[in-house]
Amino acid sequence: MKILAFQGSPRLGGNTDLLLSAFLEGAGEAGAEVEKIHLYRLNFKPCLECGECDTTGECVIPDDFQKIYPKIDTADVIVVASPIFFYNVTSYTQAMVERAQARWVKKYVLKKPPTTGREKGAFF
């Protein structure tokens, strides 16, 4: 099982990061392949609602999130960990959710299979 984990706190080694690490350590010991993504280390924009993904299911914003899409496509489980900032998840966590719009469109509107051909790893 492949677990992709998004760490949405700007503080490396902070509460969220530590809790997520503990979870991933346990999952790793149970045999899962785990990968943690520190969202604040990526250079990426929130969704621009350009509409390009409406017909293709692919996001065209040329930033670091492009290398995240294949990881989403091949994950069996996606874990999201975020501290609360003003009664919500952090802005980078929200931006990650927005950028997943392309995959939501691909699956639910266009009804296309995932890019990598694996049906598992549904995000929503």
84 touching ligand FMN, by CB under 6 A: yes
In angstroms, the Cα distances linking 42 to 23, 63, 114, 115 are 22, 9, 23, 22
Can you tell me which of 44, 85, 104, 123 binds ligand FMN, judged by CB under 6 A? 85
Question: Which residue in the set 44, 58, 74, 83 belongs to the binding site for ligand FMN (CB under 6 A)?
Answer: 83
Ramachandran area for residue 46 (φ above 0: left; ψ -120 to 50: alpha; else beta): beta
CB of 78 to ligand FMN, least distance (A): 19
**Of residues 14 and 113, the one with the C-beta less far from ligand FMN:** 14
Give the nearer residue to ligand FMN in terms of CB position, either 39 or 102: 39
**What gap in Å lies between CA 67 and CA 56, rounded to an integer?**
17
- Give the number of other Cβ atoms within 10 Å of residue 81's Cβ: 22
Cα atoms in the 13 Å half-sphere on the side-chain side of 53:
24
Residue type at position 99: R
The verdict on 12 binding ligand FMN (CB under 6 A) reads no
* Minimum separation from the CB atom of position 87 to ligand FMN (A): 5
Q: Under the rule (CB under 6 A), what is the footprint of ligand FMN?
A: 9, 11, 14-17, 83-87
